[in-house]
Amino acid sequence: MKKTIFSFFLITVFSFVFARQSSLNSSIERGKKLYEQYCLTCHQADGGGVPKMNPPLINTSYVTGDKQKLVQWVLKGSTESVPIDGKYYSNNMPPQAYLKDEEIADILTYIRNSFGNKASAITATEVKGIRAITK
Amino acid sequence: MKKIFFFTILFFILFVVANQSYGRSGKDTTKNTASGQLVPDADNAGLKLPNGFGAIVADTGLGAARHLAVTSKGDIYVKLEDLKDGKGIYYLHDADGDGKFEVKTGFGNYAGTGMAIRNGYLYASSNTDVYRYKLDANEKVSDTTPEKIITGLLARHEHESKSVVLDNDGNIYVNIGAYSNACQKQDRTKGSPAMNPCPILDSAGGIWQFKADKPNQTYGDGTRYATGLRNVVGLDWNTDINALFVMQHGRDQLHDLFPDMYDTKQSAELPAECMYQLKKGDNAGWPYIYYDQVQHKKIQAPEYGGDGKKEAGENAIDPVVAFPGHMAPNGLLFYEGNMFPEKYMHGAFIAFHGSWNRAPEPQKGFFVAFVPFKDGKPSGDWEIFADDFAGSNQIMSSNTAKHRPCGLAQGPDGSLYVSDDQGGTIYRIIYTGK
């Protein structure tokens, strides 16, 4: 009996982990396609950006750090001359508020887990919540 | 006794002769040949050049080396876009004549792009101002206190750099780039309408003319010499026909903004990067039109009702040369030297910084191109002159290019200098063929 309960517990844990992993993978997969469509021109195929013009998405707390700040960057874009990790980038970023919550979640989950980045996924629910408080 | 004296003298003479020839051959193995000619680096500084040409890494480690100017003594002043040890201008001097600069001193506490020498002055620009410094009898800046010539120019995030060139009549020309891609209400935003008329053009998106020697000039003291130029970085005064020539960076993102009209391949090639000859009052048409180098036509911009085919811009000038899109021409130089073969005399060299806006297609540029000229007009097709700055044949992401050509200048001996704002290198290209 104990054995059965233990096996059941293990299967539950594994399937939970597996489901989580596969949903992460499919989010990254969808995010990659969306990245190519909406982001790649400026941030480049390798996520390395363009020196002085478009900031890199690699090795920066802007991408792997605070989720709210990152989601708002996508929703509002940027026309400010602000230093990013000590460097200035001149091109304006258009707001991407027209993207659906799930699309933004997929794109950001993709860039947070690509180009050498490793950070937690962002969910559509999180994007929705941040959009609601973003003007 | 006489014999000993004789042998002593003989040995002395032999010693001196041996030493001299040793010294000379010692120099041979460095950079100069016995005749005093420069010797290119064994790998031509990593560049691919036409037969008979060679290149020397004259300097490295300068960081974002933008435009540069050479004095009649062969010394270089280079403007940096990022301060190096707190300095924005570097003076480079080759003390031993091997083609490499050993002496480097910095001054000027502002970053920028523009650098030019005319009538005994060195001119330098930040992104908002233009300064000058008096050159002494050795063509050196001995007093590094700048004299502010022009002030208060617009720098609003995009296309901020100010390039400068001077004519022979006491005028200085300054590029003021448009702080926009295509004059949409919301820059680079799909679906955002164009502003019509484009309000940017009153104070940017053109070339302004000022006096070269009058301090503290602002917009009101200058003249909008030419308009409808989105962004110019490379420009030069053609002394053969006494005229201003500029290289325009064409607009970006035709596919991103109008995916139904332009596919990614068209968007990579279009619009042309244009060379224009400018007279006072000229209009090159931005943002209302762009030049399509495939159709050889001025095409109405899609933001202003165009569909990729409709012609417009009857009042806009035509380019002198049209290059493929997005290659980012950052330097222009008309060659008036005696070192290069006849073909190159009076022709135009263009430093292409290299594209970013061709993705998902491979990037393009990262080379110095040449256009032959006769009587101030192109006399043949453009060609690649110096290639392989990027260090790879296929660049997909422009951040992987090792070097990016930016400025051009001609040495008193006819050498061509190329600055690189990615790898911080100054290249010296020489002709060694016969």
Cβ contacts from A onto B, under 8 A: 66
Tell me if chain B has a CB within 8 Å of the CB of A117.
Answer: no
pLDDT in tens, B244-261: 999 999 999 999 999 999
Percent of chain B with pLDDT over 90: 91
Tell me if chain A has a CB within 8 Å of the CB of B392.
Answer: no
Q: Which residue of B has its CA nearest to A81?
A: B157
Q: What is the pLDDT of residue B20?
A: 42
Average pLDDT, stretch B399-410? 97
Best to test chain A binding among B366, B397, B403 (most A CBs inside 10 Å): B397
**Residue type at position B358:** R
Which ranges of B2-84 does DSSP label H, i.e. alpha helix? 2-28
DSSP reduced 3-state for A36: helix
| Beta carbons within 8 Å of B321's beta carbon, 6+ residues apart | B274, B275, B348, B371, B378, B382
Q: Which residues of A touch B188 (CB under 8 A)?
A: 91-94
DSSP reduced 3-state for A78: strand
Q: Which residue of B has its CA nearest to A79?
A: B157
The yes-or-no verdict on residue B129 having pLDDT over 80 is yes
Q: Which CA distances in Å does B165 have to B210, B233, B246, B331?
A: 11, 11, 10, 11
Query: Of B58, B166, B59, B168, whose CA–CA distance to B116 is shortest?
Result: B166
Q: What is the pLDDT of residue B355?
A: 97
Q: Which residues of A touch B187 (CB under 8 A)?
A: 79, 92, 94
A49 min Cα distance to partner chain B (Å): 6
Q: What is the pLDDT of residue B14?
A: 43
Name which of B188, B189, B399 is nearest A48 (Cβ-Cβ).
B399
Question: Residue A10: what are its φ and ψ, rounded to 5°?
Answer: -60, -45
pLDDT in tens, A58-99: 999 999 999 999 999 999 999 888 888 889 999 999 999 999
Are the C-beta atoms of A64 and A112 separated by less than 8 Å? yes
Whether A46 and B190 lie within 8 Å, measured CB to CB: no
B398 min Cα distance to partner chain A (Å): 6
Q: Which of A14-28, B325-339, B371-385, B418-432 has the lowest mean pLDDT?
A: A14-28
Beta bridge partners of A84: A87
Q: Which residues of B touch A95 (CB under 8 A)?
A: 186, 189
Q: Which residues of B touch A79 (CB under 8 A)?
A: 157, 187
More confident residue, A9 or B295: B295
| Beta carbons within 8 Å of B98's beta carbon, 6+ residues apart | B30, B31, B32, B38
N-terminal to C-terminal alpha carbon distance within chain A? 57
Q: Which residue of B has its CA nearest to A49?
A: B399
Whether A46 and B256 lie within 8 Å, measured CB to CB: no
Please give the mean pLDDT across all residues of chain B.
Answer: 93
Whether B186 and A94 lie within 8 Å, measured CB to CB: yes
Tell me if chain A has a CB within 8 Å of the CB of B266.
Answer: no
> Which ipTM value was assigned to this complex?
0.85
Whether B157 and A45 lie within 8 Å, measured CB to CB: no
**Residue type at position B406:** C
In whole angstroms, give the CA distance from residue B176 to residue B434.
43
Whether B158 and A91 lie within 8 Å, measured CB to CB: yes
The yes-or-no verdict on residue B15 having pLDDT over 50 is no
| B3 band by pLDDT with thresholds 50, 70 and 90 | low
Are the C-beta atoms of B283 and B246 separated by less than 8 Å? no
| A11 band by pLDDT with thresholds 50, 70 and 90 | confident
